[in-house]
Structure 1
């Protein structure tokens, strides 16, 4: 049997006072209130600005260290409200992903402004799902919400890929998708467990877990085997209503960054939101590990001292933002519209827009000899490899959410026969990349469905390789050739002299993404029976594999 662990609520902290917020349908949400203390050590109940944090991961638990976050924010003069979302830990109601957060966020804001310690001005802060709850509260249009600071998140967080009939090109399903409701939304508690990834009977293992837990996950049953869409936002969009100022933080190595960039693109189409949108891009992953970090701090279990040392980087940008948009101190012009980390250096740069002015698009083409060339090869050629569902290309990091904790060398993956490798010449001098990266590939398969993964790497002179961008798409009816336009996300990266760019192309990245069984069956429910497929990629000619790169400074070899 799998190792199932149930994690219940941690004790309420000494500095918190737990309240029960009643929602419009009578459900009570467990809510901690942190107030400043006066010189005599007595809670200061005078009115002040409030920061609200709504999360499903236990407002008192070690994982999110909210009591330490609250302590830091209170020390800067804020009242802090931390709440278990509906159905989680001490809160009542059903554990149901996403759909109640707009209403519950608005009801909580109503409750806050009615308290004697509130002056009616509220901001929100948080990562991942508790970044999502900020977008949801903003979508309610509540007038008390003056600013939000969502980090490493997206309004399209979590739900499975929708399979529109007749659409040949789709996204590739992440392995975590169906696991999330089976771990974090399978009841009030959190459950720690993983499938046996060496087996392909994922749906069977999910049923075994729910039998052990004694209850079913509502969200899982909505998604498997046929995903059902429930409305998340009024009018179908988080950006349909009144805008609020947003400090929007994205991590270069966050596995959820594609969701963040999708929101950036949508906000640009909404003038009201775009006018109040401020972007931060940092050299972090989803769990806030940093590219440039002392080896002693790159640990899976951070100590309290390490967490306290991390808080200024996590919270000070939001505090500066709230000072302007909540407290009215200073001017919006004091906040840079874009602040971005140039990875590979310790520089933080500012710009009026993203990508920065002066970025030029440069295209590199794969060659039949395994190179990356500035000129498109004239003659068309093909490269083939075998996608064997019984011998999948492994994911480079054991946990996709903490990629920079592991900081894997991806060069060995390129030694596999089922990974195509294309490497550019050494850089004669440093070059800075800043902006979107995209690949165009022409592929086909002997099987009905082909997953195409494209990874962009920085190869050091010692041969080690760091992944700096990636993207993937799925082609259906793949016996007929299809051209995929693959978004590899954005980069802000210094490619050093003597380093090379490298591209990996493959058909699996397991278990971060669910693998194709080769039969056309659903990988989660029908992945037991497998068939190897031969995949073919076009090199050269009009359909050559092409990689578009954004060069800000320097010359790309």
Structure 2
């Protein structure tokens, strides 16, 4: 039986007073109201409000919202922190995503009717409480003046939607079905992990629910027969009224593909694109930075360390809100894009992403493991074995905090089921800035094949840091197919003497659900079989890596 740790609501902050906000269907959502210099609403003057709607406990240690509110109050903002429907002190069912548009609208409406509100509202937050901002913006409430969503996406979290008539789709995260069994199972936070050695995940989910004594509404809607309820009742979240957005993406955020997909959607809607500001930082999903000092690279930080880190997280949003909420200054004073050149302390600004002058440069794989500027003329095939009993391990203990461990991935390249390809060492520094993609032609003697491509920076001492990645699933894999795998975007300085390396494999476990080799559902597991996988080298469809080079010469 799983070891389950249940975390109930933490004591409400002494800096705030609690409220219960009625939604249109009568459900009461719990909030904390923070008023600068005023212990109650009777003592407060009207001002601008920042709303934070989250499922992780408005008063809890994990998101340290009381510290965030304290910092925002010092800048003159009223703050409302709210448990979303079904979580912690809020009423209702713990149903993922689908109520956030209407609940966001109703909460903003309630704020505008309070004596301490001047009718202007902004929103801030990460991950799911970044998603609640996109949802509130999609509600069209006119009082919402600006949002600052971080490390999130409008398609956050739901299972992969497989096209029955198509051959390719995304590879499923293992966390997809765990999230509604942990964070979004009932009002509390339930922490437990499957036995990753068993791999009969559906059976373990049933064991967990039997032990708790109830079922999870979100899990049952997703598995085994998905009922994907519309999370945006008005349709495309970017089709309606636009809201100025400071949109933060992390180079090492495992949710970054969702963020980049929203960037592309916004570009197709001129009213949104006109005041969409992009910020790209050298962070992972939990906010750890590439160049963090070892003293700050801790899973459990002290209160003093948390407070010391707040300016780097909140000041960009406060600068943005100063213009779009308070009307001080002009939008033209803010760069449309601010991005970090990872590996340096430098933040750069510009009008567009990718930056002007970035050129697409391609390197082709050879059968002897090189990446060269010249495409091999003749075709050849490399093979490896995907063994469900011996999967390629995920490099980080927690995919959401990759930079906490900042793992060396060089040892993975020594495995027989990982293909490795290297450029020559760089003669001088090379700055990469823009999209990364890989062209592959792959196949298998099994029905379903997952193809993982990882891009690494290899230092002269042989250690390797992953800087980009992508993966795609091929169905009907006994018939080889050419795929273009999106590895996301990079802003990275490859130092002189370093080289780029590509790893190609068929698993990354337990971050992603592994293929059984027989085509059965990986979440259910069942009969397994080792598969022989193939990759084409050379010719028009051979493995090719394309990166955007801003400065320098890629070897």
- What TM-score bracket applies, with the shorter chain setting the length? over 0.9
- Cα deviation, residue 43, structure 1: 8.0
CA contact (8 A) 1:186 1:215 kept: no
| Counterpart for residue 10 of structure 1 | 10
Q: Which residue of the partner structure matches residue 553 of structure 2?
A: 555
Matches within 5 A, 1:6-405: 6-37=6-37, 44-405=43-404
Q: Give SS of 1:12's match.
A: coil
Determine if contact 1:187/1:217 at 8 Å carries over to the other structure.
Answer: yes
Tell me by how many angstroms 1:484 deviates. Answer: 1.0
What SS class does the counterpart of residue 500 from structure 2 fall into? Answer: strand
Paired with 2:526 and 2:415, the residues of 1 have a C-alpha distance of 24
* Deviations 1:16-58 (CA, angstroms, capped at 9, x unpaired): 10000000000000010000116x9998510000000000000
Equivalents in 2 of 1:20, 1:521: separation in Å?
47
Aligned to 1:505: 504
1:530 counterpart (528, 534, 542) = 528
Cα displacement (A) at 1:114: 0.3
SS in 2 for 1:19: strand
Q: CA deviation at 1:216?
A: 1.0
Q: Distance in 2 between matches of 1:264 and 1:125?
A: 18
Alpha-carbon separation, structure 1, partners of 2:483 and 2:547: 17
Query: Cα deviation per residue 1:422-445 (whole Å; 9 max; x = unaligned)?
Result: 011000000100000000100010
Equivalences, count:
555
Q: Secondary structure at the match of 1:444?
A: strand
Aligned partner of residue 30 in structure 1, secondary structure: strand
Q: CA deviation at 1:236?
A: 2.1
Q: Distance in 2 between matches of 1:455 and 1:327?
A: 44
TM-score by length of 2: 0.99
**Offset at residue 234 of structure 1 (A):** 3.0
Residues 30/371 of structure 1: CA separation in 2 closer, same or farther (3 Å cut): same
Equivalent residues of 2:41, 2:116 under 8 A apart: no
Give secondary structure in 1 for the equivalent of 2:89: coil
Is the 2:452–2:470 Cα contact (8 Å) retained in structure 1? yes
1:155 and 1:467 map into 2 onto residues whose CA distance is 26
Decide whether the 8 Å contact of 1:139 with 1:234 is kept in 2. no
Asked if 1 retains the 8 angstrom alpha-carbon contact of 2:520 and 2:526, the reply is no
Q: Secondary structure at the match of 2:540?
A: helix
Find the aligned partners of 1:146 and 1:543 in 2 and give their Cα distance. 48
* 1:312 alignment partner, SS class: helix
How far, CA to CA, are the matches of 1:387 and 1:510 in structure 2? 12
Unaligned runs of 5+ in 2: none
Residues in 2 aligned to 1:486 and 1:547: alpha-carbon distance in whole angstroms: 10
CA positional deviation for 1:164: 1.5
CA distance in 1, matches of 2:108, 2:488: 35
Q: Does 2:546 match 1:545?
A: no
Mapped partners of 2:117, 2:324: distance in 1: 16
Give the drift of 1:226. Answer: 2.1
Matches of 1:226 and 1:411, distance apart in 2: 40
Encode CA deviations 1:75-98: one digit per residue, 9 max, x unaligned. 100000000000000000000000
How much does 1:543 deviate?
1.3
Deviation digits for residues 387-444 of structure 1, max 9, x if unmatched?
0000000000010000000000000000000000001100000010000000010001
Cα distance in structure 2, aligned partners of 1:428 and 1:285: 29
> Does the residue aligned with 1:115 lie in a helix, a strand or coil?
coil
Deviates more, 1:232-241 or 1:515-524: 232-241
Residues 447 and 518, structure 1, Cα contact 8 Å, conserved in 2: yes
Helix, strand or coil: the match of 1:199? coil
Aligned equivalents of 1:271, 1:325: Cα separation in 2: 18
Q: Is the 8 A contact 1:162 1:227 kept in 2?
A: no
Contact 1:447/1:478 (<8 A) preserved: yes
Bigger CA drift: 50-59 or 330-339?
Answer: 330-339
CA-based RMSD of the aligned residues comes to 1.1
Q: Distance between the aligned counterparts of 1:44 and 1:433, measured in 2? A: 53
Contact 1:58 / 1:89 at 8 angstroms: preserved in 2?
yes
Contact kept, 8 Å, 1:445 with 1:478, in 2: the verdict is yes
Runs of 4+ with deviation above 2 angstroms: 40-44
1:22 touches 1:28 (CA, 8 Å); kept in 2? yes
